[in-house]
């Protein structure tokens, strides 16, 4: 048993499919919806400067998948970067964050709660950075 579609329904389906394809092509040409990741230390430095103007890291560790990074400047300030959609957001951590170390994974909850927690796969560097976060000042209410 075959189902026959009236010609006006076929035209409507074809038009809808064509419109979807045009929108997908346009989004691709505009660079929307990409899979942006931190490529290297230079890219991380650029993202850090976009987040905190003038932040110049001297020590950088990048998540193995490129979804985030931790950076320290020569004043000992620590900046955390994380992917936010197709962009990156960063927070300067001035007080000791809540942090949990699980093998090579370091989960950080900056003092800025709306920023949200960040889990970074840092491998062997996770322990080193967890220890360095403990050197930040404690919160006054802690």
Whether 81 contacts 90, CB under 8 Å:
yes
- pTM of the predicted protein model: 0.73
CA distance 71 to 73: 7
Where in 1-142 does DSSP place strands (E)? 57-62, 68-73, 78-84, 87-93, 98-102, 105-109, 118-121
Q: How far apart are CA 136 and CA 70, in angstroms?
A: 14
Every domain of the chain and the residues it spans? 1-32, 41-134
Tens-level pLDDT at each residue, the chain (142 residues): 566 778 888 889 988 999 999 998 888 788 776 778 899 999 999 999 999 998 999 999 999 999 999 999 998 889 999 998 778 999 998 888 999 999 999 999 988 888 889 999 999 999 999 998 988 888 666 5
Instruction: Identify whether the C-beta of residue 73 lies closer than 8 Å to the C-beta of residue 55.
Output: yes
């Amino acid at each position: 048993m075959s189902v026959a579609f009236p010609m006006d329904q076929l035209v409507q389906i074809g038009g809808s499919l064509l419109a979807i394809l045009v929108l997908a092509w346009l989004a691709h040409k505009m660079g929307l919806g990409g899979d942006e990741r931190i490529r290297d230390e230079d890219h991380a430095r650029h993202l850090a400067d976009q987040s905190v103007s003038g932040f110049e890291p001297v020590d950088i560790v990048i998540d193995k998948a490129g979804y985030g990074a931790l950076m320290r400047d020569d004043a000992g300030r620590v900046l955390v970067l994380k992917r936010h959609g197709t962009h990156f957001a960063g927070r300067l951590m001035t007080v000791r964050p809540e942090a949990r170390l699980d093998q090579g994974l370091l989960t950080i909850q900056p003092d800025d709660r709306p920023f949200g927690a960040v889990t970074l796969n840092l491998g062997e560097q996770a322990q080193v950075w967890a220890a360095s976060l403990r050197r930040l000042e404690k919160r006054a209410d802690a």
